[in-house]
Amino acid sequence: IQMSRAFKYVILGGGVAAGYAALEFVRRRGDATAGELCIISEEAVAPYERPALSKGYLLPEGGARLPAFHTCAGANDQLLTEDWYKEHGIELMLGTKVVSADVRRKTLLTSSGEVISYTTLIVATGARVLKLEEFGGSGSDAENVCYLRNIVDADKLVRVMRSCPGGNAIVIGGGYIGMECAAALVANKIKVTIVFPGKHCMGRLFTPKLAEFYENYYTSKGVTFIKGTAVSSLEISSGKVTTAILRDGRRLPADMVVVGIGARANTALFEGQLAMDKGGIKVNGQMQASDASVYAVGDVAAFPVKLFAGEPRRFEHVDCARRTARHAVAAALGAVGDIDYLPFFYSRVFALSWRFYGDNAGEAVHFGDMDSAAASSTPKFGAFWVIAGRVAGAFLEGGSPEEYEAIAHAVRRRAAVPDVAQLAREGLAFVLRE
Ligand code: FDA
Ligand code: NAD
C-alpha cells in the first residue's frame, strides 16, 4: 500500500529558488503557511546559496560551512536553517528524490514510494552537470575526478584538493566552474592547467578582449591555458587518474581533475507533459507553465523577458533563481503583474570581481585601459553591448556599488548611444552622467 499525502503547495527541488520561495510564502501568508507547504529535495540539507561552493567553500583556511550559507544569506536576508522550516510548519522532505510526476493527476512519486499530491506545484529542480561520458569521454567515477554542483561534490573537491598539496590539477572547461575552481585551486597551492575547446575562456559571455585580460591575469598567477583542444581520455591506475591525454596526443600529469563542461536543466520529469523551450520549462510572465497549476522557477524556467521584447530566455544564475522564485509565489498567491527581469550575472576570482547586466548581443564597445589594468591591483574596465543605437548589455570589472548601479540603470532604460566612439572614449563617465 502506497503512503500518500496532500499539500496545497509543493516545491519540487531544494536549492536556491526553493529557499527564496519558502521565505516569500512565509512573508505573504504568515502562520497560514503551516501545514500547507511541502519542499521535496534530493539533497540532505536545507536550501543553501549554491554560489558559495565554488568560492568561500574552497578557501584554504576558514572556508564557509553550513549553516552559515543557507538561503537567504546571499541576499543579506533571513538565514533559513532546518529549524526555521520546522518553526513555520513547512514540511522539508530531505534526501528524497521525486522519480515521476503526473501533471494531470497532480501527483509526485518519491524514491521512498510515497505519493505527494498538490494543488499548486512549483518546479525548482535546477540543473545537473554534464558528464564527460556524454561527450564520449570516461573517468567520471575516478576517486580524483571532481564535478561541482552540490555540497557532496564540494566536499569531495575539498578532500581531493587537500590530498595532493603542490600537485597538478587539470581543469576541463573554461566556463564559470572552470575559472572559479582554477582560482580556488591556485589559492590552495595546486598547479593548474585549464583545457577547453574554445578560442577563449568564458566563451558564452566574454568578448575575446575581456577574456584576454582574465587569461593574462590567471597566467600571472601561474595557471596554464591549453585552448582549442580537448582532453580525449584520462589514464586511470588503481581508481585514480594519473594522466590526461589531449586530442593531439600530449600527455599531462594529473593528481586531480576538475570538470566544468556545462549544465542541463532538470526537465525530464515533465517532458511530454509541459511545454518546453530553450532547454527548460516554458512559462509565462507569472512563471506559470502550460498547465496552470504548475509554476517553474530558477535554472529550469524559460520565461519572457520584457527588456528583450518578451523573448523567452532561461538563465542559470542565482539572481534569476531568487527573483523568479519570489515572483512565482506572489503569482500563485494572487494577482501580480508579469515579471520584468533585468538579467544579472557576476563572478569573483582572486582579487577580481565583475558584474554583467542585460544581453551580450550586438556591437561590443570596450572601455577602460585593459592593458594597464593587468598591472593594476584594482583594475577597472568593461564593455557595453550596443544594438540599434541603444545599450543592451554592460560588463564592469572592479566597479563601486554606484558604478554597478549606473551600468544596470543604463541597460534597464536602454540608454541611447548617438555615437559609439564617444561611448568608447567616455566609458563609465557616459553612464555616470545620467
Ligand atoms: P538549484 O540547482 O540551486 O536547486 C535545484 C534543487 O532541486 C537541488 O536541491 C536538487 O537536488 C533538487 N532536485 C532536482 N531534481 C530533483 C528531483 N527529481 N527530486 C528531488 N529534488 C530534485 N550563479 C551566479 O549568478 N553567481 C555565482 O557566483 C554562481 N556560482 C555558482 C557556483 C556553483 C558551484 C554552481 C553549481 C552554480 C553557481 N551559480 C552562480 C548558479 C546558481 O547557483 C544557480 O543558477 C542556482 O542555484 C539555480 O537555483 P535553482 O533553485 O533553480 O536550482
Ligand atoms: P559553462 O557553460 O559556463 O562552461 C562550460 C565550458 O566547458 C566552456 O568553456 C566550454 O567551452 C567547455 N566545454 C564544453 N564542452 C566541452 C568538452 N567536451 N570538453 C571540454 N570543455 C568543454 O558551464 P560550467 O562552467 O560547467 O557551469 C555550470 C553551471 O554552473 C552553469 O549553469 C553556470 O551558469 C553555473 N555557474 C555559474 C557561476 C556564476 O554565475 N558565477 C559560477 C559557477 C557555476
Mean pLDDT of the region 270-292: 98
Residue-wise pLDDT for 308-342, tens only, equals 999 999 999 999 999 999 999 999 999 789 999 99
Q: Residue 373 has what pLDDT?
A: 73
- Measured by CA distance, the residue closest to atom 36 of ligand 2 is 176
Contacts of 58 (CB under 8 A, 6+ apart): 154, 157, 158, 161, 181, 184, 187, 188
Least confident range of 13-27, 369-383, 408-422? 369-383
Indicate the pLDDT class of residue 407, thresholds 50, 70 and 90: very high
C-alpha cell at 389: 543605437
CA distances from 200 to 71, 169, 225, 324 (A): 33, 19, 9, 31
Distance 366 CA to ligand 1 centre (A): 32
C-alpha cell at 98: 521525486
Mean pLDDT of the region 173-188: 98
Neighbours of 187 (CB within 10 A): 16
**What's the rounded Cα separation, in Å, for the pair 98 and 111?**
6
Distance 331 CA to ligand 1 centre (A): 22
Q: Residue 1 has what pLDDT?
A: 61
Average pLDDT, the chain: 97
The helix (H) or strand (E) run that includes residue 218 is helix 208-220
Distance 336 CA to ligand 1 centre (A): 25
More confident residue, 349 or 370: 349
Neighbours of 106 (CB within 10 A): 18
Residue 257 CB–ligand 1 contact under 6 Å: no
Residue 136 pLDDT greater than 90, yes or no: yes
Task: Point out the ligand nearest to the CA of residue 260.
Answer: 2
CA distances from 36 to 91, 302, 334, 343 (A): 8, 27, 16, 32
**What's the rounded Cα separation, in Å, for the pair 390 and 410?**
9
Residue 267 CB–ligand 1 contact under 6 Å: no
Residue 268 pLDDT greater than 70, yes or no: yes
Mean pLDDT of the region 403-407: 98
**What's the rounded Cα separation, in Å, for the pair 94 and 427?**
49
Task: List the Cα angle 210/386/396 in 5-degree steps.
Answer: 40
Minimum-distance ligand 2 atom for the alpha carbon of 178: 25
**What's the rounded Cα separation, in Å, for the pair 112 and 162?**
35
Mutating to test ligand 2, I would choose from 177, 347, 353 the residue with most ligand atoms within 8 A of its C-beta, which is: 177
Residue 255 CB–ligand 1 contact under 6 Å: no
What distance lies between CA 274 and its chain's CA centroid? 23
Minimum-distance ligand 2 atom for the alpha carbon of 299: 32
Residue-wise pLDDT for 210-244, tens only, equals 999 999 999 999 999 999 999 999 999 999 999 99
Mutating to test ligand 1, I would choose from 10, 16, 100, 341 the residue with most ligand atoms within 8 A of its C-beta, which is: 16
Contact 307, 341 (CB under 8 A): yes
Task: Point out the ligand nearest to the CA of residue 323.
Answer: 1
C-alpha cell at 429: 563617465
**What's the rounded Cα separation, in Å, for the pair 163 and 326?**
41
> Cell numbers 520549462 correspond to what residue?
281
Of all residues in the chain, the percent with pLDDT exceeding 90 is: 96
CA distances from 277 to 20, 51, 323 (A): 24, 25, 20
Residue 377 pLDDT greater than 90, yes or no: no
Of all residues in the chain, the percent with pLDDT exceeding 70 is: 99
Mean pLDDT of the region 55-59: 97
Residue 267 pLDDT greater than 80, yes or no: yes
Q: Are strands 224-227 and 191-196 parallel, antiparallel or unpaired?
A: parallel
Distance 433 CA to ligand 1 centre (A): 38
Fill in the amino acid letter for 182. A
Neighbours of 268 (CB within 10 A): 12
Contacts of 268 (CB under 8 A, 6+ apart): none
Residue 149 pLDDT greater than 70, yes or no: yes
Mean pLDDT of the region 61-79: 97
What sign results for the dihedral spanned by CA atoms 218, 403, 79, 43? negative
Q: Residue 370 has what pLDDT?
A: 86
**What's the rounded Cα separation, in Å, for the pair 66 and 77?**
16
Sheet holding 381-387, edge to edge: 344-349, 352-358, 390-397, 381-387, 363-367
Distance 370 CA to ligand 1 centre (A): 33
Task: Point out the ligand nearest to the CA of residue 318.
Answer: 1
Residue 406 pLDDT greater than 70, yes or no: yes
Residue 434 pLDDT greater than 90, yes or no: no
Contact 391, 415 (CB under 8 A): yes
CA distances from 120 to 43, 248, 295 (A): 22, 53, 8
Q: Residue 369 has what pLDDT?
A: 85
Contact 285, 296 (CB under 8 A): no
0.95 exceeded by the pTM?
Answer: yes
SS3 (DSSP) at 307? helix
- Measured by CA distance, the residue closest to atom 15 of ligand 1 is 125
Distance 203 CA to ligand 2 centre (A): 9
Residue 126 pLDDT greater than 90, yes or no: yes
Q: How many residues does the chain have?
A: 434
Indicate the pLDDT class of residue 121, thresholds 50, 70 and 90: very high
**What's the rounded Cα separation, in Å, for the pair 99 and 176?**
29
